[in-house]
Chain A
Amino acid sequence: MNSFQRAWRSTLRRPVRSLLLLLVIVTVSLSLLCGMACRNASVQTQDLTRQAVGAGLRLDGNESNRTKRLEETADKIGTHKPGYLDEGDLDGVHIRKLETAYGTQWQTWTDNSFDSLLLEDVEAVAAVPGISDYNVTTKITAVNPVNFTRIEDPDNDQYSDIGGVTLLGNRKLELNSYVLSGSVTLKQGRMIGPEDQDVCVISEELAELNGLHIGDSLRFNDCHDPENAPVWEAAIVGIYQAQQPIQPLMSGDTYRWENMIFTDLRFPEKAENETAPCYEHAYFQVGDVDEYEAVKAAVEAVNIDWQRYDLIDRNGNFATMSSNFHDLEKISTLLIVLTFAAGFIVLSLVFLFWTRNRNQEIGILLSLGFGKGSVTGQFLLEALLITLLSFGLILILAPVASRAAADYLVADQVEQSEIQRDRDASRVMYGSAQPEQTVTGVEVEITGEMWRLSAGGVIALIFISVGAAAIPILRKKPREILSELS
């Protein structure tokens, strides 16, 4: 009777012991597969999150360059003598001499044409392949509310406040940083698009206070001369809801977030009675985040006056978002390693217990002339037979178990990332898609490679564990084993 015949009979006729081992192997294999499935799910989730959360580049004016340009332009005004000022206007820079009680004072200021990003530069960057869309936002523009009441804090002294509301012009509101971060969501109506003119989106608080609805019009004019300045009208196309209080950019009720009104790109300049717009930021969305670096390089190669601008990376968003999934990947990897270690310990103990309980059988077989290799081989074959049976069971159980485990872990990580997102809402710019939308699309599947790795891993564990447990047998003389029996 060979080792296989003995192993087969032993496996079938000692059902309790076989079932115990079966249970251990099923548990180890399932844990391995769950770990692998979770790891795979986390990689998929990271990838989807990266794609969905998106990445972009922001173009801002360079402050040092502005100062330099201002000095250079001022030098060109009047006498054109460097270091000497003279009254005059040039390229959006204005210099006036004021005679005061303290003597002559020089007043220098700039208008929108000097401070604004150049639209042709923005459009040149937007034309770079890989840039899927872009937004331009104006500076925060304080204006006078003509036909509605702004929201005020009754406890605040309004003496130093200009009594206005703020306008924020957008080419495409959907790509505004407040919207991307989730701080602001649309409650009613629609977003503002590039083709819109004289439209606005207001806060629900402002709408409620004034009984405003979609289709109503708001009227504004220059808050510095509200009596005489022309009045401009913008139709309400949307009402937004702030998910959390937004930190105002300046003090005073003019700048509180409920009084912030999103408009089309060219409306603020009209309302403040300016002749030119002041574009403060441009945001360029990268279509495929995996191509981010290449797109960035292509943008940097665009022939514009780069000294005038700062190009700011906006890929920290997906790094922040996907860091949670990196954690999940680490947890899954740890689970795999721990399962291997625990599996080795448990299986070794099972086999050690097994061999100790089978001393008599070992002694009999050795006395009958079976070699130690044959005896160890029988134990190994028994374990492998049970492993084969386990794999049959795992085929049925693994998809369900791994799905449950991965869902749990991914959901947990999504929750963590949501918390993180809320925490960072006002600080970090995200992509336009919501994270939860991506996670539901993750397929937790057990691939052929996972099956092979898991089966290989368990079989390797069986070999190592049986080998480790067989060492005491291999070291003993048959007589010692038989002596223990008598």
Chain B
Amino acid sequence: MILEAKNVSYFYKSQRDKLILDDVSFGFACGRLYAILGPSGAGKTTLLSLLAGLDTPVQGEIRYDGIPVTPKDLAKHRRNHISLVFQSYNLIDYLTPLENVKLGGRGDPKMLLNSVGIGEEYWNRSVLQLSGGQQQRVAIARALASDAKVLLADEPTGNLDQATAWDVTYLLKRIAHQEGKCVIVVTHSRELAQTADEIIQIGGGHAGAAQ
């Protein structure tokens, strides 16, 4: 397992009596696409944040390649091990698509943009001139540029039309299967979830493998 959640619990400091995650354990392997499903408020995004090193669990630990990620190592974990894709694309608006991908890290940005279907004519435009689907593809290219083994995506198709959502879904699946990355997607979409190799159902603070 490249990434593991071990007996992870989490609550907000303002609501200590309400556990968002309660003793959740799960492992994620490279070359597979995982879908985390669950109703709103079930803790999907929280789990993703903990896996991404954006926050630390109240109890339990996150392990990367068998090694616990300590609070001190969070920035390093995010920089070297994890790449993130957001529902709202989160591109930096004063950078071009090419420069946004360069932000991601070491990969060849042109090749990466080509691989996600962004043609050369878009590379040096303002990202604000791109469609939602194109922006999400740029965001995925940026995530891939980090060369991290784990790609975490929070509702990556949430703002896209159905056709574009399928394109992005297959892109993520291809990344998992062809590039051997561990892709973990938080989604509400059952269609997207059904394309995943494994579905993790979250509800009432607990997680369980559904497939």
Question: What separation, in Å, do the CA atoms of A372 and B99 have in the docked complex?
Answer: 20
B45 — nearest CB in chain A belongs to which residue? A486
Say yes or no: B78 contacts A368, CB within 8 Å: yes
A11 — nearest CB in chain B belongs to which residue? B94
The reply to whether the CB of A287 lies closer than 8 angstroms to some CB of chain B is no
Could you say which residues of chain A place their CB within 8 Å of the CB of B95?
1, 6, 9
Shortest B47–chain A CB gap in Å is 12
Say yes or no: A1 contacts B146, CB within 8 Å: no
Say yes or no: B54 contacts A486, CB within 8 Å: no
Say yes or no: A361 contacts B75, CB within 8 Å: no
- How extensive is the interface on chain A, given as a class? 20 to 34
Say yes or no: A368 contacts B146, CB within 8 Å: yes
Question: What separation, in Å, do the CA atoms of A44 and B123 have in the docked complex?
Answer: 61
With A477-B55, A478-B54, A486-B87 in contact, is A368–B94 under 8 Å at CB?
no
Shortest B70–chain A CB gap in Å is 15
Say yes or no: A1 contacts B78, CB within 8 Å: no
Question: What separation, in Å, do the CA atoms of A36 and B89 have in the docked complex?
Answer: 50
The tally of residues in B whose CB lies under 8 Å from a CB in A reads 28
The reply to whether the CB of B49 lies closer than 8 angstroms to some CB of chain A is yes
With A368-B104, A369-B75, A369-B80 in contact, is A477–B90 under 8 Å at CB?
no
Chain A CB count within 10 A is highest, among B49, B82, B99, for: B49
| Cβ 8 A contact of B55, one of A14, A370, A479 | A479
**Which residues B111-149 have CB closer than 8 A to chain A?**
142, 146
| Cβ 8 A contact of A366, one of B78, B91, B99, B103 | B78
Say yes or no: A1 contacts B102, CB within 8 Å: yes
Contact pattern, B 76-100, Cβ under 8 Å of A = 1, otherwise 0: 1011101010111011111100010
The reply to whether the CB of A482 lies closer than 8 angstroms to some CB of chain B is yes
**Which residues B38-77 have CB closer than 8 A to chain A?**
45, 49, 52, 54-55, 74-76
Question: What separation, in Å, do the CA atoms of A257 and B90 have in the docked complex?
Answer: 90
Say yes or no: A360 contacts B90, CB within 8 Å: yes
| Cβ 8 A contact of A1, one of B79, B80, B90, B103 | B103
With A368-B84, A369-B79 in contact, is A361–B92 under 8 Å at CB?
yes
Question: What separation, in Å, do the CA atoms of A363 and B89 have in the docked complex?
Answer: 12
Question: What separation, in Å, do the CA atoms of A486 and B44 have in the docked complex?
Answer: 14
Could you say which residues of chain B place their CB within 8 Å of the CB of A345?
none
Say yes or no: A1 contacts B75, CB within 8 Å: no
Question: What separation, in Å, do the CA atoms of A42 and B7 have in the docked complex?
Answer: 74
Could you say which residues of chain B place their CB within 8 Å of the CB of A13?
94
Shortest B50–chain A CB gap in Å is 9
Question: What separation, in Å, do the CA atoms of A172 and B3 have in the docked complex?
Answer: 103
Say yes or no: A369 contacts B55, CB within 8 Å: no
Say yes or no: A364 contacts B92, CB within 8 Å: yes
Question: What separation, in Å, do the CA atoms of A13 and B94 have in the docked complex?
Answer: 6
Could you say which residues of chain A place their CB within 8 Å of the CB of B92?
361, 364-365
A-B CB proximity, top 10 nearest: A369-B79, A479-B54, A369-B78, A479-B55, A13-B94, A478-B54, A479-B49, A364-B90, A367-B84, A1-B102
Q: Which residues of A contact B (CB under 8 A)?
A: 1, 6, 9-10, 13-14, 360-361, 363-372, 477-479, 482, 485-486
Known A14-B94, A367-B54, A369-B79; 17 more pairs at CB < 8 Å: A6-B103, A10-B94, A364-B90, A364-B91, A364-B92, A366-B75, A367-B84, A368-B78, A368-B103, A368-B104, A369-B76, A370-B75, A371-B75, A372-B75, A478-B78, A479-B54, A485-B88
Q: Which residues of B contact A (CB under 8 A)?
A: 45, 49, 52, 54-55, 74-76, 78-80, 82, 84, 86-88, 90-95, 99, 102-104, 142, 146
List 18 A–B pairs whose Cβ atoms lie within 8 Å, in order of A's numbering: A9-B94, A10-B94, A364-B92, A365-B92, A366-B75, A367-B52, A367-B54, A367-B90, A368-B78, A368-B103, A368-B142, A369-B78, A369-B80, A370-B75, A371-B75, A478-B78, A479-B55, A482-B86
